[in-house]
Chains A and B, each alone.
Chain A
Amino acid sequence: MHGKASPSFIRKSVYGPAPGPRAAELPGIVGLELRDLFPDIPKEIYTEGGDLSVIRKATENALKNVNMDMIRPTDKVNILSSQYGYQIMGGDVYAEMIRTIKDVVEERTGCRNIRLRVTTGFRIREPNEIIRHYKLNEYFHGKALGVRPIDKGVPIETEIGTLYGVAQVYDADWIIHAHHGELRELDMHRMINRAIKPFSMSYARMETRAVAHMNFGPRSSNFVAKVIFNSPFVQSKFTFGCFLLTSPGGIIGVDAGNDMERLDRRLMLLGFKSYGKIRELFNEIRECIAVMDATGEPRYMIGGGMTFGNLTEAELDLFDLDKIPVSLGYGLYERPAGAPKLKSINPAIKALVLNHMWLGVPQLELATHIPTVVVGRELADLLRDDPMNHDFMRHVVTSENLGTAMEFARRISQTDQVIVFDGSFGAITLSASLAEHLIARAPEVSRRVEEQLMPKWLRQRGIDPEELSNRNH
């Protein structure tokens, strides 16, 4: 049941150190196939390094029933992409979906002025790194552009007042929303309007992102995305959405549509089915050393198809809308007695080893909550000068190499259970001891999700589980 671990490609960036030895190469580290734990995880059509023509074909098929009649040959069209998509499985798969969208739209509409917008969070240089790495400017004939949340804005009149998008996102006659179904910030979207979240994040100015993050609550923040998406301005430009569908096993397909509500519902159901059990399995980990070893920031680093954020918050079932982790704006302070539970750092994480990661999001809470070892001087220097984590290095120790970091982590944590977030899909990279524990717990997790949790998640969103089950049969 234990195979060889298969870590994802690490893209070079000014935000991270040069890639070095990988955690998957450490003695005693194995790959645990997810389908051996949960055979019902939706089957993948692509995993990293596979044949990208499968993705092209899936995208072409998904777009067949999409209406593109509104696009005239003389129009300008922006395909909108988000930086995180390019972190999934090395990024080639998302890039291929985007290239295919361009080709299909050109062929169907005769329009030749199709531009690409690569949006980002706080790593301002990242979009241009992406455009260079995947040669997107060449593919888009010089019309690929990186846009940042601090770029010039455009006012968007909504039902709750004026919010601001990034001007270069909307500087076309039409926009195409090219995204993915990976869970990412589950604590913010809670699978409510998940499909349109980028309208208040990736495509929005920083003030509007902060409105969603800081001024709304642990379940209501994606309401901001809803009112932006529903605004006459956005609706006058919106054409269709095209989504790379993921499960922890890999890419399971491509979905597209003009009706985002229907697409969102399909994405939600798939999200529960794909991620529900693995997420709950993370809650069965009682003690572990977590190792970060992939592209991006720890919170969104993938291990076994799930982000590290799902382990740090494993105690809270974030699909369950009765659970209230007080989100960013109202969280992370010393709470008064009786106040709702804060967004947590799972105490099962006994030590954290940062082997490879990028800067670019505030993540001090990791260093202050978990004994942390930074691997190598280069990463330590980057973290010391990271403006988003002023005090990070005051709370951690630095080790010369990965081997000594792991030794130190084992000594302070008193556990040999290791889980590695190395971008892998299909299998979790972990120690044999943790693999045995998860294998033993999986059947009970499967039962709990099927009998208790899944019906609850569905009912909370107005879906009758029995009706759904009958329809699927």
Chain B
Amino acid sequence: MVEIRLLAYVIKKLCISCGACQNVCPTEAIIVPRKKAKAKVFESKCIACPNCSGICPVDAIIMVPRKEPLRLGVQSMDVDEVKIKELCIKANLHPHQWLCICGTIRVREGAVAVLTGAKSPEEISLRTGARAGCTAYCLQPMLRLLKAHGVKVVQPKGYRWYDTTQTCWDVTEEIIKKYPGHFIEEDKEVFRKV
């Protein structure tokens, strides 16, 4: 369970409608609805990551306390343990490893989100609270879980995220041979043991 205590707030008189904020929001919580319009925040979707306030070129976005914290999290008892494990194995992920270090969310919670219908990283975020911090590392396990579940991942317009999920499991034998001394096979063996 992640408790979101802050909320992005747009200082309208400063906003220059550049749209930088909407390209970095992990949950589509902030948009510039049309040309020259001021940025708008959807409170129920804002998970208070540092991206929009940090990227704004004119400091028009600040973080303010929410009236009531937003609590996000999934109930793993809603899903069969066997299915969680199967999905994690298919994604080459361990159910107990971190999905999101910042929010202390495990991969199994991401698996629950996917198995209960999340179809995109944005939806996993809003169900689990993941990507409320650095917004970066957690994106890989999210995409891997979605793809392993057969979800056709659609890269959003703009540059909120790019669809790339190479893992050590995808490196071909030919490439491994070409680059000796990089421990790809050896590290795969470590993960197999884990």
* A-B complex: 9 closest residue pairs judged by Cβ atoms: A217-B187, A124-B54, A219-B183, A206-B136, A215-B167, A388-B133, A333-B96, A362-B101, A214-B140
Give the residues in chain A near B139, CB-CB below 8 Å. 206-207, 210
A-binding segment of B9-17, B31-39, B45-53:
B45-53
Chain A binder among B76-84, B110-118, B158-166: B158-166
Closest chain A residue to B95 by CB distance?
A333
What is the CB-to-nearest-CB distance from B30 to chain A, in angstroms, rounded to a whole number? 13
Q: Mark B residues whose CB is within 8 Å of A.
A: 2-3, 5-6, 23-24, 48-51, 54-55, 63, 94, 96-98, 101-104, 106, 132-141, 144, 159, 161-162, 164-168, 170-171, 175, 178-179, 181-184, 186-188, 190-191, 193-194
In the bound complex, how far is the Cα of B192 from the Cα of A339, in angstroms? 10
CA distance A388 to B134 in the complex (A): 6
Q: B residues within 8 A CB of A151?
A: 55, 159
Would you call the interface of chain B mostly helix, strand, loop, or mixed?
A: loop
A208 at interface (Cβ–Cβ under 8 A)? yes
A210-B139, A385-B5, A387-B50 known; A340+B193 contact, CB < 8 A: yes
- Rounded to whole angstroms, the CA-CA distance of A198 and B36 in the bound complex is 37
Residues of A within 8 Å of B96, CB to CB, are: 333-334
Residues of the A chain whose Cβ atoms lie less than 8 Å from the Cβ of B132: 387, 390
Name B180's closest neighbour in chain A (CB-CB): A462
Determine whether the beta carbon of A152 is less than 8 Å from that of B159. yes
User: What is A's interface to B at a CB cutoff of 8 Å?
Assistant: 122-125, 148-153, 155, 159-164, 192, 205-211, 213-220, 222-224, 226-227, 321, 324, 326, 328-336, 338-340, 361-362, 364, 385, 387-391, 461-462
B55, closest chain A residue (CB): A124
Q: Which residues of A contact B166 (CB under 8 A)?
A: 160-161, 163, 211, 215, 224
A338 to B190, CA, bound (A): 11
Q: List 30 A-B contacts (CB under 8 A).
A: A124-B54, A125-B54, A149-B136, A150-B55, A161-B166, A163-B164, A163-B166, A205-B162, A206-B135, A207-B136, A207-B162, A207-B164, A214-B137, A215-B144, A215-B168, A217-B186, A217-B187, A217-B188, A218-B190, A219-B183, A326-B190, A328-B137, A330-B194, A331-B97, A332-B101, A336-B194, A362-B134, A364-B104, A387-B50, A387-B132
A122 to B23, CA, bound (A): 16
A220/B102 in contact, CB under 8 A: no
Contact indicator A211/B97 (Cβ below 8 Å): no
A residues less than 8 Å from B194 (CB atoms): 326, 330, 335-336, 339-340
A160→B171 contact, CB < 8 A: yes
With beta carbons under 8 angstroms apart, the residue of B3, B167, B171 that contacts A390 is B3
Contact pick for B49, options A205, A215, A321, A387, CB 8 Å: A387
In the bound complex, CA of A162 to CA of B2 (Å): 33
User: How distant is the Cα of A217 from the Cα of B94 in the complex, in angstroms?
Assistant: 14
CA distance A389 to B133 in the complex (A): 7
A214 contacts which chain B residues (CB < 8 A)?
Answer: 137, 140-141
Question: Complex formed: what's the CA distance from A193 to B66 in Å?
Answer: 45
Residue with the highest number of chain B CB atoms closer than 10 Å, among A149, A219, A364, A390 = A390
B-side contacts of A224, CB under 8 Å: 166
